[in-house]
Each structure stands twice: as C-alpha cells, then as structure tokens.
Amino acid sequence: MNPPYNPIIKIENLETKFGRTVIHHHLHMEIFPQEIFGIVGGSGAGKSVLLRTILGLNPIAQGKIEVLGKSIESMEKITQDRLQLSWGVLFQSGALFSSLTVGENIQVPILELLKTPPQIAENMAMIKLKMVGLQESDFYKYPRELSGGMIKRASLARALAADPKILFLDEPTAGLDPIAAASFDQLILTLRKTLGLTIVMVTHDLDSLRILCDRIGVILHKKMVIGTLHELMHNQDPWIQSYFHGERGQIAMAGVKG
C-alpha cells in the first residue's frame, strides 16, 4: 500500500528510445517522500537511461515525468534550473574534477548554483565533507590521492552540497570492497534519517537492496515491476526469480523471511 501522500516523483506512460531502439515503453513509477527506491534490471534494460531521463538529460518520446509536482518536459529553462537545486546526483565513477581538490569539487554547485560568496561556500563544503565521514585533511587532497571509498564519499558530499530534497545514486557501491560498501550503506541510511532525503538508486548490489530499499522497481520487458523485497521474491517472473533466488541472491537474502 502506498503512503497517504503525493509522490515526489511520478512517471506515467514513459517511452524513451534512441533512433528506432525503444528502451522503455509504457513505464510507470511513483516514488514517495523520504523513500529509498532501488532500480534493478538486466544489462541494457535502461536503468541509467531512466535516471538520466528523470534528470532531464535524455529526451522523452512519450509520456510524462513529474518531479516535486513539476513536469520535466514542459517547464521553461529557468524553472528547470531551480528544480535542479532540489536534487543531487552521485555518478557511478564519482565524476570528480581531477584538477580540483576535494574541497573545490564540493564547492562547485555551491558557487555555480547557489551563487554563494567564496568564504561561505568553503565553510559549507567543509560541513558536507564531515557529514559524509571524511576528515578535514581530505578537503585539500586531489581525487588521485583518495581511495575508491573516499572518492564515493567526496562525490556524495558534492551531491549534497546544495541541500537537495532528492538524491540520485548510480551504482553507489560499485567497486567497493564489502566492508566499504557496508559502511556506505549505513551512511545512506543515516543521511536519509537526518536530512529527510528521498533517495533513488540504481544498483546491482543485493546487500544494498536488502539493507536500504523500501521498495524496488525491476525494469523488465521495457516496463517496471514494483514491490517490496518480499513481494518481488514471490514474483513468478523467470528473470525476477533468477535474480533474487539465484546463487548470489540466496546468499544475500539469507534470513529474509518470504
């Protein structure tokens, strides 16, 4: 049963395509405030494409996407720019600027989007750095000096820089060892609780799905099947059965009641 309030993201009848190749067809999705919503699917199913389409980076062939009650495809640029202040994005690779220090990377959206004076921007960036569990000394390092887990955290600090309401995560634990991945998952839970974030994440990490997600959307046959983890584990679709009940799925889901 859906919560008794309006969705923060609403997608109706979405179709996306590149040339003649249809990626999504009649895809529907609703995400509610302060929910952690996971997106999974097979290789080439269009998980990252969907994320980029919600962000307004890919064109919509058909359908409607609303974020915070605003229609993405029909709004004027000035309205879209304001809406973009309401979300932060953590890209799979981190996408930090290699020529900038960690602190300078975090300050980019503060300076460019919020037009904050430099000294205040630096103070705000330091707060975000500590919020994600990095040390003050890390503020002055360059991305090449960071471990994979530290890059993820620095990128997360930049995604949080403008105090967004929605956080988009693209494979947030990819490339991390199990200890670093588990620590990152706990950080996400803490941020959701303390900041009241709505989080949308594309992931292949079954442990993250189990630990983090309130609901999961499976992109299947160009559409989306949505449910809680327990509901999806009972879904009889062959791909979903293989995903959650295969060898890796059985290990990750051990102890989850059906």
| Structural domain spans, the chain | 9-252
Instruction: Of 167, 172, 165, 160, give the one whose Cα is nearest residue 107.
Output: 160
Q: What class is the 9-252 domain?
A: alpha beta
What confidence score (pLDDT) does residue 1 get? 44
Note the pLDDT of residue 56. 86
Q: What are phi and psi of 192, to 5 degrees?
A: -60, -40
pLDDT of amino acid 71: 85
Q: Using CA of residue 195, residue 201, residue 207, residue 213, what is the dihedral sign?
A: positive
Amino acid at 28: H
Q: Give the residue carrying structure tokens 């360059």.
A: 142
- Identify the H or E element spanning 8: none
pLDDT digits (tens, 9 = 90+) for 156-196: 999 999 999 999 999 999 888 999 999 999 999 999 999 99
What count of other Cβ atoms lies within 10 Å of the Cβ of residue 224?
22
Q: Contact at 8 Å (CB) between 31 and 214?
A: no
Closest CA to 164 of 111, 86, 89, 109: 86
Q: Block means of pLDDT (10 residues each) for the chain, length 258 residues? A: 75 94 96 97 92 90 92 62 82 86 94 89 96 95 93 95 94 90 95 96 92 96 95 93 77 58
